[in-house]
Amino acid sequence: MHPGVAPLPGADRDRTVILPTRAAAAPRWTGILTTRTPATPHQFSVRSDRNAAARHQVAIPAAGNAAAPPSAGRRSSVGNPSPQRREDVRPRRAGLGPLVGVLLLAGPALLAGCGADDPAPAATTPAPATTKPTQPREQLAALAAAAQDRQMTAVYTLTVSGQPNRSISVFRAADRSWRVDIPAGALGGTADVSLVQNGAGLFQCALPSAGYPESAGCVRVADPGQPLDPGIDPRMRHPFTDWPEVLTDRRAPLSVATAELPGAQGSCFAVESTSASVGPPLDPGIYCFAADGTLTAARLPAGTLTLAGTPAAAPATVALPGPVVVREPLRIAGPPGGSTDDGQPGGGEQTGGGSTDSSSSDDSSSDGGAETSPGGTGG
């Protein structure tokens, strides 16, 4: 028996099994088994670990070479043991394989569980980039859209060649009702009128004046937002009421270009109709708007409007200047005998906002005739 090697009970004494121990230096042999009787294959096997399934057969070295380490990678035959042919006995790590399998199977679930409590990052939507319109048509449309929502009380000066200046008062209330007072706006410039729209309808109100000494009274002439007969509809109320909506319509047959108007504030645009129809959607001219949608000036066929002073606060609602009466509304043109040959004072001017182009008006009948200047439909 080799020194330091103890026999294993019940083993074959003709064969020796050497079990190396794991050490930092040289391996140490923990046991040698020698039998005198022929050994069976089962007696050659050694379990390197309780959970290992493989069995190893090794050759017994000679007594003088018992302390020499086994040659790596060389196997011995059971029936022909040789001192030079031996097999390493490498203990297997019991339980490591099942543990690795469990970790591989449970790994994704564990990783998912670790991140389950973390809230998902909130999706962020980038703020849309706001770009200022560059084309004149787009710029005018943006200003006209602001004009539709503009609430104010303002006074404008109407300048007409050959006539004294007149002051037009504009009220745009918080409840979207409005009122436009036009001096000398009816009966050929001898009567003052006011156009008022509220929830009850659209009214033409006659105001006491030198040419109309009667008390104020209002006649309902249409539903809210409906067009009027051009013969009773002053043109100068449209820049404050329905023409801003036309200017916002990209489908309207209009040609828009930047322009300048002396003394006007804000941005000015020259607007022309591209339609050959008899009634364009609005009068051609130059329209100027402030950034908040306030109409600052407009040069139109019937005259030039200029904002006088700073607009004041808007009223909550607009009241009629007189009671509702049942009578015929006042005509724009003057009565027979007090007008020119074409039935209009001032050489073809439609006082109150009609076109100054005499070719756009027909001969008047006994009741004052109907105005046929461009944009004859009101709103």
Domain count across the chain:
2
What is the reported pLDDT for 182?
A: 96
Residues 206 and 352 in one domain: yes
Domain boundary among 94, 128, 161: 94
- Residue 246: Cβ-neighbour burial (10 angstroms; 0-12, 13-18, 19+): middle
What is the reported pLDDT for 210?
A: 83
Q: Is 224 inside a domain boundary?
A: yes
Residues 38 and 163 in one domain: no
Which of the pair, 194 or 280, is modelled with greater confidence? Answer: 194
* pTM exceeding 0.85: no
Q: What is the pLDDT confidence band of residue 77, given thresholds at 50, 70 and 90?
A: very low
Residues 157 and 217 in one domain: yes
Q: Is 26 inside a domain boundary?
A: yes
What is the reported pLDDT for 212?
A: 85
Residues ≥6 apart with Cβ < 8 Å to 21: 27, 28, 30
Q: What is the pLDDT confidence band of residue 226, given thresholds at 50, 70 and 90?
A: very high
Q: Is 218 inside a domain boundary?
A: yes
Residues 152 and 291 in one domain: yes
Instruction: Determine the average pLDDT of the residues in 173-184.
Output: 96
Which of the pair, 376 or 136, is modelled with greater confidence? Answer: 136
Residues 87 and 145 in one domain: no
Residues 67 and 213 in one domain: no
Domain boundary among 70, 94, 118: 94
How do the residues of the chain divide into helix, strand and coil, expressed in percent and rounded to 5? 15, 25, 60
Instruction: Please say if the pLDDT value at position 47 is more than 70.
Output: no
Q: Is 152 inside a domain boundary?
A: yes
What is the reported pLDDT for 60?
A: 46
Q: What are the tens digits of pLDDT across the range 359-370?
A: 333 333 333 333
Residue-number span of the structural domain to which 83 is assigned = 8-94
Q: What is the pLDDT confidence band of residue 233, given thresholds at 50, 70 and 90?
A: very high
Instruction: Please state whether 263 falls in left (phi above 0), alpha (psi between -120 and 50) or beta.
Output: left
Instruction: Please say if the pLDDT value at position 40 is more than 70.
Output: no
Residues 147 and 81 in one domain: no
Q: What are the tens digits of pLDDT across the range 92-134?
A: 555 555 555 555 665 555 555 555 455 555 656 665 555 677 7
Q: Is 81 inside a domain boundary?
A: yes
Q: Is 378 inside a domain boundary?
A: no
Instruction: Determine the average pLDDT of the residues in 321-341.
Output: 78
Domain boundary among 94, 125, 155: 94
| Candidate from 14-23, 172-181, 204-213, 329-338 with smallest mean pLDDT | 14-23
What is the reported pLDDT for 73?
A: 46
Strands of the sheet containing 217-222, edge to edge, are: 217-222, 201-207, 191-198, 178-186, 166-172, 152-159, 303-307, 295-300, 285-289, 267-273, 254-259
Residues 291 and 172 in one domain: yes
Residues 89 and 144 in one domain: no
Q: What is the pLDDT confidence band of residue 346, given thresholds at 50, 70 and 90?
A: very low
Residues 244 and 178 in one domain: yes
Instruction: Determine the average pLDDT of the residues in 194-209.
Output: 95
Instruction: Determine the average pLDDT of the residues in 203-222.
Output: 92
Q: Is 243 inside a domain boundary?
A: yes
Residues ≥6 apart with Cβ < 8 Å to 147: 244, 289, 293, 294, 295
Instruction: Determine the average pLDDT of the residues in 275-289.
Output: 86
Strand pairing report for 303-307 and 285-289: unpaired
Residues 73 and 146 in one domain: no
* Domain of residue 162, CATH code: 2.50.20
Q: Is 290 inside a domain boundary?
A: yes
Tell me how far apart the alpha carbons of residues 139 and 132 are, in angstroms, rounded to a whole number: 8
Q: What is the pLDDT confidence band of residue 211, given thresholds at 50, 70 and 90?
A: confident
Q: What are the tens digits of pLDDT across the range 239-280?
A: 999 999 999 998 999 999 999 999 999 999 999 998 776 678
Q: What is the pLDDT confidence band of residue 231, given thresholds at 50, 70 and 90?
A: very high
Instruction: Determine the average pLDDT of the residues in 147-170.
Output: 96
Residues 161 and 25 in one domain: no
For the chain, the average pLDDT equals 73
Which of the pair, 40 or 184, is modelled with greater confidence? Answer: 184
